[in-house]
Amino acid sequence: MQTTDVKKVSTTFSRTNPFQAKVLKNVNLNREGSSKETRHLELSLDGSDLSYNPGDALGIVPSNDPELVASLLEEMKWDEETLVEINKQGDTLSLKEALTTYFEITLLSKKILQQAVDFTESEELRNLLLVENATQLKEYTSGRDLLDMLRDFGPWNASAQDIVSSLRKMTPRLYSIASSIAANPEEVHLTIGAVRYMAHGRLRKGVCSVLCAERLQEGDTLPVFIQPNKHFHLPESTEKDIIMVGPGTGIAPFRSFIQERAVTKAEGRTWLFFGDQKSATDFLYQDELEQYQKDGVLTRIDTAFSRDTEKKVYVQHKMLENSKELFAWLEKGAYFYVCGDKQYMAKDVHNTLIDVIEKEGAMTREAAEAYLTEMQEQGRYQRDVY
Q: What is the DSSP string of 10-65?
A: SPPP-SSS-EEEEEEEEEE-SPTT-S--EEEEEEE-TTS-----TT-EEEE-----
Q: What average pLDDT does the structure give for the chain?
A: 96
Mind listing the pLDDT tens digit for each residue in 15-48? 999 999 999 999 999 999 999 999 999 999 999 9
- What is residue 10's predicted lDDT score, i.e. its pLDDT? 54
pLDDT at 8 over 60: no
Task: Please give the share of the chain, as a percent, with pLDDT higher than 90.
Answer: 96
- What is residue 294's predicted lDDT score, i.e. its pLDDT? 98
Tell me the CATH number of domain 19-62+172-227, given options 2.40.30.10, 3.40.50.970, 3.10.129.10, 3.30.70.3190: 2.40.30.10
Mind listing the pLDDT tens digit for each residue in 189-203? 999 999 999 999 999
- What is residue 145's predicted lDDT score, i.e. its pLDDT? 97
Residue ranges with strand state E in the chain: 19-28, 38-44, 57-60, 83-85, 92-94, 173-176, 187-193, 196-199, 202-205, 221-227, 242-245, 270-276, 300-305, 335-340, 381-385
pLDDT at 3 over 80: no
Burial 165-178 (b: 16+ CB within 10 A, else e): ebbeebebbbbbbb
Q: Which is more confidently placed, 310 or 238?
A: 238
- What is residue 227's predicted lDDT score, i.e. its pLDDT? 98
Helices (H), 29-183: 66-76, 95-97, 110-116, 123-128, 134-141, 146-152, 160-164
pTM for this model (two decimals): 0.93
Tell me the CATH number of domain 242-385, given options 3.20.20.10, 3.30.70.3270, 1.10.420.10, 3.40.50.80: 3.40.50.80
pLDDT at 172 over 70: yes
- What is residue 23's predicted lDDT score, i.e. its pLDDT? 98
- What is residue 6's predicted lDDT score, i.e. its pLDDT? 45
Q: Where are the domains of the chain?
A: 19-62+172-227, 66-164, 242-385
Mind listing the pLDDT tens digit for each residue in 322-362? 999 999 999 999 999 999 999 999 999 999 999 999 999 99
Decide: helix, strand or coil at residue 337: strand
Mind listing the pLDDT tens digit for each residue in 250-285? 999 999 999 999 999 999 999 999 999 999 999 999
User: Can you tell me the distance from the alpha carbon of 213 to that of 209, in angstroms, rounded to the nearest whole number?
Assistant: 6
Mind listing the pLDDT tens digit for each residue in 84-141? 999 999 999 999 999 999 999 999 999 999 999 999 999 999 999 999 999 999 999 9
Contact (CB, 8 A) for 52 and 228: yes
CATH T-level assignment (fold) for domain 66-164: NADPH-cytochrome p450 Reductase; Chain A, domain 3 (1.20.990)
Give 11's pLDDT tier (boundaries 50, 70, 90): confident
Q: What is the mean pLDDT of residues 300-324?
A: 96
Contact (CB, 8 A) for 268 and 241: yes
